[in-house]
C-alpha cells in the first residue's frame, strides 16, 4: 500500500469521528498537481486576462482562506466595505475558498466573491479538493490554478498551484520560464508558504528540496514577494531580499495565532510598489 493511500485511510477514520464532509475517495484518486498543471498549460480553461487599472496608481488586496462552510459565515461582507472605501481595484484569493468543497459551499463562496463588486483572481487550496468534483468545480468557477497575469505593464502576478503541498517538475519549469522576464515587478501568489516564522512547522510546502530550490529562484530573479495562506495567521519575513507573506487571515473562526482578521494591501504609485497589512476594526 502506498504511503499516500495509507495516510488517507488513517485520515478517513478521524474524519468519521468528527463528521466532516470530505470525500475520502476523491482525496485518494484526485488529479495530482502534475495532472492539473499539465491541463492548465494546454490553455483550457483559458487564463483570466489583466484587470484594467490606472497604470500610474492602483491598489489590490491579497488574502487566503475564506473557508466558507455550510452556514455561510464569512468576512467577505466586511472586505466589500473596505474595498469600496479604499478604492481597491481588484483582489486575489490564495485558496481554501471553502471548508469541505461541497456544492452548497462552492456556490455560496462564488456568489459572495462576486458580490464584492470588483474583479478578482483565485488559486486553489487543499480544502478546495475535498470532494470528487473539486477540481472540476474550481475550473468552472475560476479557471486554471496556475497562470500569469501582467497588470498595467507594471506588475506580473504569478499564480501557483500548491494545493497538494508540492510544486512538481512541470510547474517548476513553467515557473522559471515566467520568472525570466525582467520587465516587471514579480509577485507569486499561492496557497502554501515556503517559510512561516522562525521555526519550521508542518503548514508549509512539504519538500525541503523544493523549498530551497524555490527560494533560490526567487532570489535569482528578484521576486518581490511570495504570498501564501494555508496557515490562518499573519506573518511577514524577508529572506534574501524576498518578502514572504502569510496572510490566511479571512477564515470565519479564530486565527491559528496572532490577532486581527484582514488582508494584505499592495499599492502601486509613483513607479514604486508598497504594502501594508489592513486589519478590520
Q: Which of 91, 163, 92 is nearest to 134 (CA)?
A: 163
**Mean pLDDT per 10-residue interval, the chain, length 281 residues:** 40 39 65 95 92 97 94 90 97 96 94 97 96 94 97 97 96 97 96 76 82 95 97 92 95 84 96 95 70
In whole angstroms, give the CA distance from residue 45 to residue 57.
31
Cβ pair 66, 74 in contact under 8 A = yes
pLDDT of the residue at 200:
52
pLDDT number for residue 83: 97
pLDDT at 121: 98
| pLDDT the model gives residue 244 | 96
Task: List Cβ<8 Å contacts ≥24 apart for 245-249.
Answer: 245/62, 245/275, 246/193, 246/196, 247/62, 247/63, 247/64, 247/94, 247/277, 248/63, 248/64, 248/65, 248/94, 248/96, 249/63, 249/64, 249/65
Please state, in angstroms and rounded to a whole number, the distance separating the CA atoms of residues 63 and 75: 11
Domains of the chain: 1-30 (no CATH), 31-279 (3.60.21.10)
Q: Which residue has the cell 459565515?
A: 73
- Name residues whose C-beta falls within 8 Å of residue 40's C-beta, 6 or more positions apart in sequence: 47, 144, 145, 146, 147, 161
**What pLDDT does 9 receive?**
36
Strands 57-63 and 262-269: antiparallel
User: How far lies 229's CA from each of 190, 216, 267, in Å?
Assistant: 7, 21, 20
Q: What is the pLDDT of residue 24?
A: 65
Are 112 and 12 within 8 A, CB to CB? no
Amino acid at each position: 500500500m502506498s504511503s499516500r493511500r495509507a495516510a488517507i485511510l488513517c485520515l478517513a477514520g478521524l474524519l468519521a469521528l468528527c463528521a466532516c464532509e470530505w470525500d475520502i475517495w476523491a482525496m485518494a484518486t484526485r488529479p495530482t498537481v502534475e495532472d492539473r498543471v499539465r491541463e492548465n498549460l494546454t490553455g483550457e480553461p483559458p487564463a483570466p486576462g489583466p484587470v484594467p487599472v490606472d497604470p500610474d496608481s492602483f491598489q489590490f488586496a491579497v488574502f487566503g482562506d475564506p473557508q466558507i462552510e455550510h452556514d455561510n459565515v464569512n468576512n467577505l461582507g466586511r472586505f466589500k466595505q473596505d474595498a469600496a472605501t479604499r478604492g481597491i481595484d481588484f483582489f486575489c484569493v490564495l485558496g481554501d475558498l471553502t471548508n469541505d468543497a461541497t456544492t452548497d459551499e462552492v456556490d455560496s463562496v462564488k456568489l459572495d466573491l462576486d458580490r464584492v463588486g470588483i474583479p478578482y483572481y483565485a488559486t486553489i487550496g487543499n480544502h478546495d479538493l475535498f470532494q470528487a468534483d473539486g477540481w472540476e468545480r474550481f475550473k468552472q468557477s475560476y479557471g486554471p490554478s496556475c497562470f500569469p497575469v501582467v497588470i498595467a505593464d507594471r506588475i506580473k502576478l504569478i499564480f501557483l498551484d500548491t494545493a497538494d503541498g508540492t510544486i512538481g517538475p512541470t510547474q517548476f519549469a513553467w515557473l522559471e520560464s515566467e520568472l525570466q522576464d525582467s520587465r516587471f515587478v514579480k509577485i507569486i501568489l499561492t496557497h502554501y508558504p515556503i517559510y512561516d516564522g522562525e521555526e519550521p512547522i508542518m503548514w508549509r510546502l512539504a519538500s525541503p528540496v523544493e523549498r530551497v530550490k524555490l527560494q533560490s529562484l526567487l532570489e535569482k530573479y528578484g521576486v518581490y514577494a511570495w504570498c501564501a495562506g494555508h496557515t490562518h495567521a499573519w506573518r511577514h519575513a524577508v529572506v534574501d531580499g524576498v518578502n514572504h507573506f502569510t496572510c490566511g487571515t479571512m477564515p470565519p473562526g479564530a486565527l491559528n495565532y496572532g490577532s486581527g482578521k484582514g488582508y494584505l494591501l499592495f499599492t502601486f504609485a509613483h513607479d514604486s510598489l508598497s504594502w501594508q497589512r489592513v486589519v478590520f476594526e
